[in-house]
Amino acid sequence: MSNRPDVGADRGTVADLLNKRAELLTCLADGPKPQRVLRDELDRSRSTVYKAVTELEDHGLITEGADGYELTGIGRLAWRRHDDYRGRLDRLVAAEQLLNAIPDATRVPLAVFEHGRVIVPGRHAPERPLDHLESLGEGTDTIRCFSPAGMPRYFAGIHDDVESGDRTAKLVIEDDGIDRVRSIYDDFEAAVSEPSFDVRIADGELPFAIVVFDEADLGLFVYDEGTLAGAVFCDDDAVLAWANRLFEREHERATPV
């Protein structure tokens, strides 16, 4: 009978081991590798790699075969679940500043951040979230958005697309945002008269901005004291269903311009 501990015998120990040996497990996720290759890729000493593979082998997570060390069936499954958990946790950590900036964080499902991609302005790339928004919107047929400011930098472009028949749009904008767009865009009245360009004034303040393209992609933009804190982009079906319900609620409450 083998003296090797069962993987399920001490879940705490295995969880700690998965985290502790994450680099080595990542190397083996692509396929078997001999110990010398692991040393080179990890840039670790012979004794360090030997200790690591021994621990993982003792817990049934890896085994040594003809082509080197490789994940066992249970090791592959455990690593996949652990890697998924780490990815979700990393996304939540990245989203912390956005969650803190949302006035009522309970209004936003955590799934938005768990399944989405968080993009924040960089010191040398302050437009990064908006750049991603532009690339996401290229070639889309419909846009639905509610926003405190009304996306003034995109308003003219949306109008052009609607006027040419390339897009339909629904925008819900705060009162001050409407005034700003009207003041900087000379063709504002022509834009709002377009049948396929539905522009409305929001019923009160909006806690953040959302943009839904073709009911397939969501961009959620968070502001901190009027400054863009960042955005999260998501195409998860459940998240899109939430965004669609939220938009329709704000749209129904809003007043047509």
Q: Using alpha carbons, select from 214, 201, 225 the residue that is nearest to residue 147.
A: 201
Which strands sit side by side in the sheet containing 227-234, from one edge to the other? 117-119, 227-234, 217-224, 209-213, 142-147, 168-173, 197-201, 255-256
pLDDT value of residue 2: 44
Torsion-angle region of 33 (φ positive above 0: left; ψ -120 to 50: alpha; else: beta) = beta
0.85 exceeded by pTM: no
Mean pLDDT of 162-176: 95
Local structure of residue 174 (DSSP, 8 states): -
Residue 85 predicted with pLDDT over 50: yes
* Residue-range domains of the chain with CATH: 7-86 (1.10.10.10), 103-256 (3.30.870.10)
Task: Say if residues 210 and 246 touch (Cβ distance below 8 Å).
Answer: yes
How far apart CA 189 and CA 140 sit, in angstroms, is: 24
Q: Confidence class of residue 11 from pLDDT cuts 50, 70 and 90? A: low
Q: Which two tokens stand for residue 29?
A: 């996720």
CA 184 vs CA 18, 152, 157, 189: distances in Å: 56, 8, 13, 12
How high does pLDDT run on average in the chain? 89
pLDDT tens, residue by residue, 241-254? 999 999 999 999 99
Beta strands per DSSP E along the chain: 62-65, 68-71, 117-119, 142-147, 168-173, 197-201, 209-213, 217-224, 227-234, 255-256
pLDDT value of residue 190: 95
pLDDT value of residue 16: 87
Q: What is the distance, to the nearest Å, from the Cα of residue 168 to the centroid of all Cα atoms in its chain?
A: 26
pLDDT tens, residue by residue, 208-238? 999 999 989 999 999 888 888 899 999 999 9
Helix (H) or strand (E) holding 75: helix 73-94
Mean pLDDT of 32-52: 93
Mean pLDDT of 181-209: 95
Residue 1 predicted with pLDDT over 50: no
